[in-house]
Amino acid sequence: MNIKRMFTVTKKELIHIKRDKASLAIAILMPIMMLILFGFAVTSDVKNVKLVICDKDKTVESRNFINKFSNSNYFKIEKIADSYNDVDKYIGSGEAKVGLVIPHNFARDIRRGETTEIQILVDGSDPTIARTATAYSVMIANNYSIKIKEVSLNKMGQKLSSGTIDSRARVLYNPMLKSSLFNVPGIIGLILQNITVILTAFSMVRERERGTIEQLIMTPVTSLELIIGKLIPYVAIGFLDFVFVLLLGYLVFDVAVKGSIALLMLFGLIFLICALAMGMLISTVAKTQLQAMQASFAILLPSILLSGFIFPREAMPKIIYYIGNIFPITYFLEILRGIIVKGVGIELLYKNMFSLFALTMVIVFITMHKFKKTLD
């Protein structure tokens, strides 16, 4: 082995790496970005769970009881409801994960030493959050109940006895807490995103590397016509994949669509266009298929972890939580679980719909702006 020749090859490869600044930047910056993002985002802790309160008693005792929830790290009061139906609406739309209903005569029953019942409604579409939130809720209620009884009985010089608050937890949408009802809709969204982004990310790059991009540039086809023409086949493929995985989810995992299938198809089509536009944007920016692959992973990996597919977003730091809002799949997962698991309609999903549609328009606009019919 000739050492000089070996180092000559090494020098040549270093020159190639130096010239390929995009790949070099991705190789250096991606591990740093991944470590920072995932270090904060990847956590199985359940905290800051969105809570909706319906206080029908509105007394000092009921407010003190609510403070026990708000002062803990487990819950964050997101909404105040006037009725049971409002609590159900907020949980159905995903604006809250847990509902606390305090009945009339809450304070009166406590003062009389009688047992009063509170109701805890838990969104069962995410079994991990549901189990933990239920346990936390019951624990806070029991501790408060024991504290009240202890103070009362100590004044009477008696021993501690049973509490005075009976907490009744009810899991909505997924009473058996089947993990498949949470995982399958998420996997459907993930499959659609990954397949469509990766397919289109290599589309324009492949034209450049094969030398056929020059033929396209010489034609009278406009940039918009070229982008839409390239997207149409992938939209058809993605839509067929969407229908197929929905059917497979029902046949294999018994996950049926509880809501409107037509509405789900509409949202799925919007998301497909958005994901394909993301892939096309990568394809217009990247110069080689290696760069396209690296850029695809740089987008797909954070979107998986920051969208709520695996880990609860409520437990993430605020800055990481807001970064997760820039990924279309974050809203599509809410839509999938809302329609498939909860059976809710557009009246509760319109915020996610507008966010997904707005992101789609922005990504399509940027893609059209970045793409030029030139060789540069």
Best CA proximity match to 65, nearest among 122, 114, 121, 103: 103
At 160 the pLDDT is: 44
Spans of all domains in the chain: 49-172, 179-370
Is residue 134 within 8 A of residue 184, CB to CB? The reply is no
* Start-to-end C-alpha separation, the chain: 41
Return per-residue pLDDT of the chain as tens, 376 residues. 677 766 776 777 677 667 767 666 766 776 676 666 666 666 666 788 999 999 999 999 899 999 999 888 889 999 999 999 999 999 999 899 999 999 998 888 888 778 888 999 999 988 888 988 899 998 898 888 888 776 666 555 554 444 478 888 899 998 888 888 888 898 889 888 888 888 888 877 777 777 666 666 676 766 667 777 777 888 888 888 899 889 988 998 889 999 999 999 999 999 988 888 888 888 888 878 878 888 888 888 888 888 888 878 887 888 888 989 999 999 999 999 999 999 999 998 999 989 998 998 888 888 777 766 554 5
At 96 the pLDDT is: 93
What are the angstrom distances between the C-alpha of 318 and each of 76, 197, 324, 357?
Answer: 13, 27, 10, 24
Pairwise CA distance, residues 354 & 164, whole Å: 46
- Here the tokens at position 55 are 């206080």
| Residue 275: other Cβ atoms inside 10 A | 29
Pairwise CA distance, residues 268 & 261, whole Å: 10
- The total number of residues written for the chain in this structure: 376
Is residue 156 within 8 A of residue 107, CB to CB? The reply is no
Is residue 272 within 8 A of residue 232, CB to CB? The reply is no
Place of tokens 């922005």: 362
Is residue 49 within 8 A of residue 121, CB to CB? The reply is no
At 152 the pLDDT is: 61
In what order do the strands lie in the sheet containing 49-55?
Answer: 75-80, 49-55, 98-102, 116-123, 165-172
At 34 the pLDDT is: 65
Candidate CATH numbers 2.10.240.10, 3.40.50.80, 3.40.190.10, 3.40.1710.10; the one for domain 49-172: 3.40.1710.10
- Here the tokens at position 250 are 């029902």
Sign of CA dihedral 239, 241, 242, 244: positive
| Ramachandran quadrant class, 164 (left: phi over 0; alpha: psi -120 to 50; beta: rest) | alpha
* Tally of CA atoms within 13 A in the half-sphere of 66 that contains its CB: 25
At 198 the pLDDT is: 83
At 161 the pLDDT is: 45
Is residue 189 within 8 A of residue 329, CB to CB? The reply is yes
At 144 the pLDDT is: 86
Is residue 227 within 8 A of residue 368, CB to CB? The reply is yes
Radius of gyration of the chain (CA): 27
At 162 the pLDDT is: 44
